[in-house]
Amino acid sequence: MFAGLTVALVTPFRDGHVDEAALRKLVDFHVDAGTECVSPCGTTGESPTLSHKEHEQVIAIVCEQAAGRIRVMAGTGSNSTAEAIRLTSRAQAAGADGALLVAPYYNKPMQDGFFEHYRAVAEAVDLPLVLYNIPGRTAKNVEPDTICRLGEIPNIVAVKESTGSMDQASQILNGSDLTILSGDDSLTLPLLALGGSGVVSVVGNIVPGDVGQLLAAWREGNVSESQRWHHKLFPLCRDMLGLATNPIPVKAALRLLGRDTGEVRLPLTPLAAAQQESLARTLKAYGLSPKG
C-alpha cells in the first residue's frame, strides 16, 4: 500500500511554534502535485525536537488536512517502546493510514530487542507498520534476518531502507514479502532494480513531480527514461543534501524557492551564507528559480 512516492515532510516552525497554516498548505501542495503519501514527524520533520504534544499535533493536523485525499504514514518511532506504542496508537486514532517507526536509537538494543520492540508495537495497534532502518543515525543496524522475522508479523508491511547497502536490501527481498522503500533519494533507482517499490523522499519536498516521473517510468518498464530522471535528480540530491545535515538544506531550499517553512530548531542551525550561495547555484543548475 505504500509503493510509490512518499514525501518525508518538513515541519514548519515560526517563532518557536509549529506553523499550522504552513503545515496544512504543505499537505495541499502534495495533493495537487500527485504525491501518493506524506510522512510527518520523521527525520526530515525534526521529530527529535518536537514535544510529545507537538508530535501528536503535527500528525493530527496532517491527517485532518489529508482528509482521505492522500495517504499519511505517520512517524511514531521512539527508543522507548512504551512511547512508540503511545504515539502509534494516537496516530491510528487521528486517522493515519500507517506508521513509520525508526529503529530504537541511542540505547542500541540487541537484535532480539529490536524484534520484541516492534512486535510489542504491532500487537498494540491495528495499523500497517513500516520499519525504518537508518544505522547512520541510530548507531545500530537492524540486521536482515531480524527484519525478515519481523516481516512475518501480519501488520508489519514494509521497510524504509536507509543503510545504503544493496546487499542488505537484497537479503530482505530474498527472505521476506516486505515492501522495500528507499530512504535515500540517490539510491531509489538501484533499489527499484533490485525489486524495491518506492521511496520515502526528501527531495520530493521540492520536486515531487520529478521523483514521481522516475517511479512512473520504472513502473511502465521504460528503463532509459527512469535512468534519465535518476541522472537529472542525482546532482540535486548530492549537492543539496551534502551541504549540511537533513533537513537544514531542504528547508533553506524551500525558502529560496518562495515556500518558506521557517527555521530549523536547535541543535540544528541555519546554512551559512556561503552554503546558501552554493545551494542557490545548485537549484538554478537544476532549472529551479531561487528568489534570493
- Cell 541543535, residue located: 267
| Whether 16 contacts 24, CB under 8 Å | no
Quick one: DSSP state of residue 187?
A: G
C-alpha cell of residue 141: 543496524
Can you tell me the distance from the alpha carbon of 261 to that of 66, in angstroms, rounded to the nearest whole number? 18
The amino acid that residue 263 corresponds to is E
The Cα–Cα gap between 258 and 218 comes to 31
- Is 140 labeled as catalytic in the residue annotation? no
Is 143 strand, coil or helix?
coil
Q: Which of 25, 106, 108, 132 is catalytic?
A: 132
The set of residues, in sequence order, having a beta carbon less than 8 Å from that of 74 and lying 6+ positions away, is 39, 40, 41, 59, 62, 63, 87, 88, 91, 94, 96, 98, 99, 100
d(CA 116, CA 140): 16
Q: Please check whether residue 181 is in contact with residue 201, taking contact to mean a CB–CB distance below 8 angstroms.
A: no
Q: What's the distance, Cα to Cα, between the start and end of the chain in Å?
A: 39
Active site residue 291: no
d(C-alpha 143, C-alpha 154), whole Å? 19
Per annotation, catalytic residue among 118, 140, 160, 286: 160
Distances (CA, A) of 237 to 113, 203, 283, 290: 34, 7, 10, 16
Within 13 Å and on the Cβ side, how many CA atoms surround 187? 19
CB 240 within 8 Å of CB 282 = yes
- Catalytic residue numbers, as ranges: 132, 160
